[in-house]
Amino acid sequence: MVSSNTSIVVDDVSKIFTMHYHRSLKQIMVAKVRGLPLSETFQALTDINFEVEQGESVGLMGLNGSGKSTLLTLINGVLKPDSGTVKTRGRVAGLIATGAGFHPQLSGRDNLFLNAAILGMSEAETHRKFDEIVDFADIGRFLDTPVSHYSSGMSARLGFSIAIHVDADIFLADEVLAVGDKPFKVKCMAKMQEIRQQGTTIFYVSHAAASVQHMCDRILVLEGGHLNYDSKLVDGGSVEGGIKFLHYDDEEPDAPGDKNGISALADSALGAEI
């Protein structure tokens, strides 16, 4: 049981995936005759341990393939660990994959209701927040167009808008700012700051060091499926220590520095009407 002041408990968690090299019966038989392997196991996560307190904003960083998305799907309950336990308290929502749950032949309007239901919103709750979600997504006349005609940016705007309007105790975001133009990224950062100030626990995955530094008060670093850095344990909460641990220089176009990057833009957006 998760205590009243704890949002997430990850206890000695490991996850293994099996990669199959052959799909058809013919391919399998040929591989067997030639003595080739049919499958291989991949250790995505190994003995992960940490706790997140209610209201903490945690940045999860690491190179591609380090296990970040796998850990997020375990916390979200989409996957189950092969060993260990993951416990959460309250409603979990967020955007793990852009457009996840969208049906390409349905309109943006229909997918809004479908995706909201997947995230745990009732029909009445979705109706109540409908205008606010649509205004934030800002897809205009394309709301009644099939999402198969949407650009990646439009899908990202709609998906994020739905997720961020779920009344959740824990909000998960996996590379949520990787797609979209700068004004939308600023608006997303401002909205995430808003829910952070409301006491929502945020688990934020990103390669953008500037946005992690601006958004988070703690950082976890995964390397090859191992949790090799927890700023709460190493530096008493220093996010900068985790960024240095990763040797991230953060020379991204949307975050060129403290004055001109997304951190400064998000600061200015906090006082703006969204």
| Residue boundaries of the structural domains of the chain | 53-269
Can you tell me the mean pLDDT for 172-200? 81
pLDDT (tens digit per residue) in 121-168: 899 999 999 999 999 988 888 999 999 998 878 888 898 889 889 888
Neighbours of 147 (CB within 10 A): 24
Question: Do 246 and 270 contact (CB within 8 A), yes or no?
Answer: no
- Cβ burial, residue 90 (10 Å; 0-12/13-18/19+): middle
Question: Which residues on neighbouring strands pair with residue 81, listed in sequence order?
Answer: none
Contacts of 256 (CB under 8 A, 6+ apart): none
Residue 45, token pair as written in the block: 């996560």
Whether 266 shows a pLDDT value over 70: the answer reads no
Dmax (CA) of the chain = 67
Superfamily classification of domain 53-269: P-loop containing nucleotide triphosphate hydrolases (3.40.50.300)
Positions of E strands within the chain: 6-20, 39-53, 57-61, 83-88, 92-95, 170-174, 201-205, 218-223, 226-230
pLDDT score of 209:
83
Run of H or E residues at 123? helix 123-137
pLDDT score of 269:
40
Query: What is the distance of C-alpha 121 from the center of its chain?
Result: 19
pLDDT (tens digit per residue) in 120-131: 889 999 999 999
pLDDT score of 8:
94
Question: Do 30 and 103 contact (CB within 8 A), yes or no?
Answer: no
Q: Give the integer Cα–Cα distance in Å for 261 and 8.
A: 31
pLDDT (tens digit per residue) in 204-256: 888 888 888 888 889 999 999 999 999 888 766 678 888 888 876 544 444 43
pTM attached to this predicted model: 0.77
Residue 156, token pair as written in the block: 């990202």
